[in-house]
A = this chain, B = another copy of it.
Amino acid sequence: MPNSPPFRNEADFVEWIQRKGSRRVAGLSLGIGDDAALIKAPPGQELILTTDMSIENVHFDRGFHPPRAIGHRALARSISDIAAMGGTPRYALLSLAVSKSTSREWLSGFFAGLFALARKFSVAIIGGDTARVSGATSIDVILVGVVPDGVAVRRAGAREGDHIFVSGRLGLSALGLRLLATGASGQTPAERTAIRAHLYPQPQCALGKFLSKNRLASAMMDISDGLSTDLKRLCEASGAGAILSGPKIPAPSVSDSSDALDLALHGGEDYQLLFTVPQAKASAIPRRFGSLPLTCIGQMTKHRALRITTIDGSTQPLQSKGFDHFRRA
């Protein structure tokens, strides 16, 4: 009976989540099960609030996204936003509109992925809302983080001459998605790496905190919709432009190098950090942060445009071809 509810009633479902996701954490006065949750902000800290939807057939496809990955990715998106401010994630609320065709097994997998990532980042699930719907399943993860007063890094602080850095390798998630969508199961280690990067992206909280605490980044954001789109947003917020060096951009290893650059420039959902550093501080950025490579890919310019220099030394305008819900439609 695929249409029978996976739980007896809403209380039963909420209790199940509560049993699995609750934990005692600092500052939490009241968790799941009342009209609202209560938290006490630590003194000397600001609170960071972010919310990210994950919608079936928009952000995920049940055909090739395992439920565990869907749960992981739903929370990873929000943790990445906290990382991009230089903060530490603490408390999550979960709004879950479950399609009537959803099985208890699917929900178990979904929550296993979400709770595993929550545990890894010491995030407590403190509340939420649930509904059953006829249409697509949709998830909204609300995340509260903390950051010491005045330390949060915004998008608007980049200035002419600042060096532009990215963490990790860009375009892996888009490559992994392409492989999954065409039914490829990952034949080579490189393909498996790309698929894993897509299904289980790792938010870069430790790097974000390192940069904010040491006041190294003048601006920061996470790369969720693709470098060309997200860098444009950073430039617009900062009232500046950027010039990138194409050959320096850390692209995936695929046989076609122009395809690799396209993936790195326009592929979204890598959840790596994009940050700018004043020239005087650029030497303080290590080449690796733990095992994570940090790469200088260009510089901020006064001229308010996005440009890219190619391997032959010519400079071209850089189009924003990343993800935009309203433009694509």
Contacts and interface: CB of A to CB of B under 8 A. Distances in A.
A46 B36 contact: no
A39 B30 contact: no
A36 B237 contact: no
Interface string A79-98: 00110110100010101010
B140 A55 contact: no
A45 to B, nearest CB: 8
A149 interface: yes
Interface in A36-83: 36-41, 43, 46-53, 55, 57-59, 81-82
Given A55-B97, A324-B9, A33 B237 contact: yes
A57 to B, nearest CB: 7
Contacts of A85: 34-36, 38
A97 B222 CA distance: 22
Given A97-B138, A133-B136, A84 B36 contact: yes
Interface residues of A, number: 76
Copies of this chain, complex-wide, total 2
Chain A interface, >50% SS class: mixed
B46 A38 contact: yes
A280 interface: no
A126 B49 contact: yes
A266 interface: no
A326 B30 CA distance: 24
A293 interface: no
Interface in A237-257: 237
Contacts of A39: 46-47, 49
A53 B131 contact: yes
A214 to B, nearest CB: 19
A93 B133 contact: no
Interface in A217-251: 221-222, 233, 236-237
A29 B93 CA distance: 22
A325 B132 contact: yes
Interface string A140-162: 10101101010010111000000
Contact of A8 (B135, B145, B327): B327
B155 A35 contact: yes
Interface stretch (A10-18, A163-171, A175-183): A10-18
